[in-house]
Amino acid sequence: MKPIQMVDLKSQYLKIKNELDEAVVKVMESSAYINGPAVKNFQQHLEEYLKVKHVIPCGNGTDALQVAMMALNLKPGDEVITTPFTFIATVEVVGLLGLTPVFVDVEPDTFNMDVRQLELAITQKTKAIVPVHLFGQCCNMQEIMRIADKHGLAVIEDNCQAIGAEVFIDNYPLQKSGTLGTIGCTSFFPSKNLGCYGDGGALFTNDDELDYRIRGIVNHGMFTRYYHDMIGVNSRLDSIQAAILDIKLKHLDEYIAARQQAALYYDKAFAGHPKIQTPVVASHTTHVFHQYTLKLTNVDRFRLIENMKEAGVPVMIYYPVPLHLQKAFAHLGHEKGDFPVAEALCDCVVSLPMHTELDEEQLKYITDNFIRFID
């Protein structure tokens, strides 16, 4: 049996090695390393895949979130609503820009924003909502957009973990995650479902004016060379990473199917176990399983993780501390108990290996050992 990894990037690479190597060499031969043809090609192909008007590549997913807020002209003191159960980047950029994060708790089954609480968090200072499509499935975008439209708020979709997921909205054809809000953001970090071999990210929008502003912001606020119309940043996807992503984009649906197949194996293996709750897929979305995350009951997680590690199986906790209780956000004055669902999840979730190269032998070994250590 091959060694088990949380993400097996090498095996994935070897399957498409010739395609990738040829694409990288082509960039090297062109010497167009920044904003070269490879970037433009990838941008166009991702626009076609997502059926969105504009894709703006950038340096990473965190930059994408920050640039989105800059493009919307958010000012210090403006409030941005999001959830406390996510990676810190979602809220880190809010703090960097002097904005105020306002948290809404998550649903206990999907782990995504609880839209029933959303409207209660809106004040006169609220300017934007940042729903996080966590672990690979989408928030209830139909209700989020209804509330946002009612209150005149922008919506920035944090789609860093759910690229390729599809959203069901009444009277509309299926839409890709990240394309329903004002701006969508994604990350191409290597472990993502569509990952490069370094850092990378992108923003999506159907708004021509926002597209223009974003393209300026990611390039030092510059639209004409050496003429700077606004304060911007230096955040560009380099041509080598774009070439790699362009090849991997052709395989994205295949990768999603492989993840879904692995998730189905896990689901069946754990079905009915009294201490394990498998992922719940909401009716309004597909799930692309960036992570396969379980909720455990009456289990010593840390002992379980140590036992699995000794058996050669990595198991991770995403995330051990909710954002409102992180030291970085102590100034917000939150206490334990403010967002009980997020806090409870941080105390009971574990994520199993999830990637495109898992085979049945590995999946059986993982699930057999997991159940053995729990029982």
pLDDT for 362 beyond 80: yes
- Amino acid identity, position 225: R
Q: What's the pLDDT at 375?
A: 86
pLDDT for 174 beyond 80: yes
Q: What's the pLDDT at 287?
A: 98
Mean pLDDT computed over 340-363: 98
> Which of 262, 248, 164 is closest to 198 using CA atoms?
248
Cis peptide before 13 (omega within 30 of 0): no
φ, ψ at 177 (rounded to 5°)? -60, 145
Q: What is the pLDDT of residues 74-100, one digit of tens each?
A: 999 999 999 999 999 999 999 999 999
**Cα separation, 181 vs 206, whole angstroms:** 9
Q: What's the pLDDT at 115?
A: 98
pLDDT for 9 beyond 90: yes
> Which of 13, 9, 7 is closest to 353 using CA atoms?
7
pLDDT for 60 beyond 80: yes
Distance of CA 107 to the CA centre of its chain: 17
| Cross-strand bridge partners of residue 351 | 293, 316
| Cross-strand bridge partners of residue 350 | 294
Q: What's the pLDDT at 251?
A: 98
Q: What's the pLDDT at 320?
A: 98
Q: Is there a contact between 316 and 6 (Cβ–Cβ < 8 Å)?
A: yes
- Within 8 A by CB and 6+ apart from 147, the residues are 115, 118, 119, 122, 129, 153
pLDDT for 54 beyond 80: yes
Q: What is the pLDDT of residues 109-137, one digit of tens each?
A: 999 999 999 999 999 999 999 999 999 99
Q: What's the pLDDT at 172?
A: 75
Rounding to the nearest 10 degrees, give the CA dihedral for residues 254, 257, 258, 263: 160
Q: What's the pLDDT at 171?
A: 74
Q: What's the pLDDT at 173?
A: 78
Q: What's the pLDDT at 169?
A: 87
**Cα separation, 233 vs 203, whole angstroms:** 14
Q: What's the pLDDT at 21?
A: 97
**Cα separation, 107 vs 126, whole angstroms:** 22
What is the DSSP code (8-state) at residue 297?
S
**Cα separation, 62 vs 39, whole angstroms:** 19
Q: What is the pLDDT of residues 203-220, one digit of tens each?
A: 999 999 999 999 999 999
Q: What's the pLDDT at 303?
A: 97
> Token digits for 2?
């091959």
Average pLDDT value over all residues in the chain? 97
Q: Is there a contact between 273 and 375 (Cβ–Cβ < 8 Å)?
A: no
Helices 208-217 and 61-71 pack at an angle, to 10 degrees, of: 120
Rounding to the nearest 10 degrees, give the CA dihedral for residues 267, 268, 270, 273: 120
pLDDT for 361 beyond 90: yes
Mean pLDDT computed over 46-73: 98
Mean pLDDT computed over 318-332: 97
SS3 282: coil
Q: What is the pLDDT of residues 287-310, one digit of tens each?
A: 999 999 999 999 999 999 999 999
pLDDT for 278 beyond 80: yes
